[in-house]
Amino acid sequence: MKERFRLSPQTVLVLDAFLERPKSWRYGYDISRDTGLKSGTLYPILIRLADHELVETRWETTESGKPPRHMYRLTPEGVRSARAQLRDSGNRKSSMVVLREVKI
């Protein structure tokens, strides 16, 4: 992994979706339906995750007449990092909640 990057709420959704079945390959549309993200939001996230080597990609040939599909899966480093990042973001969220409660 090159470096840790800022987790947007949409990235958290995508990582969550990947972590539901960390070892299986997923299609873009499949992730889009799971997360509710449109392709315009989903693909930049996937590109960024692939650039950080957290997601690996491959082309899957399908039945005749249809073009091959691009598939995505978390790398082992991606699984580790996603779990850590989600844990961190969860901690941050809970500490923000605590802070808010203290302010109130």
* Backbone torsions φ then ψ of 72, nearest 5 degrees: -135, 145
- The footprint of other proteins on residues 43-72 (CB under 8 A) is 43-44, 46-47, 57, 59, 62, 66-70
For other proteins (CB under 8 A), the number of binding residues is: 21
Integer Cα distance of 21 and 50 in angstroms? 18
73 vs 83, beta carbon nearer other proteins = 73
d(CA 49, CA 8): 12
CA 89 – CA 77 distance, rounded (Å): 18
Provide the minimum distance between the beta carbon of 87 and other proteins in the complex, in angstroms, as a whole number.
29
Restricted to residues 6-35, the positions that interact with other proteins (CB under 8 A) are 27-29, 32
- Lookup: tokens for 60: 């899957």
Pick the binder of other proteins from 2, 3, 6, 40 (CB under 8 A). 40
Helix (H) or strand (E) holding 71: strand 69-74
For residues 25 and 58, is the Cβ–Cβ distance under 8 A? yes
Nearer of residues 30 and 86 to other proteins, judged by Cβ: 30
* Interface with other proteins, residue 38, by CB under 8 A: yes
Interface positions with other proteins (CB under 8 A): 27-29, 32, 38-44, 46-47, 57, 59, 62, 66-70
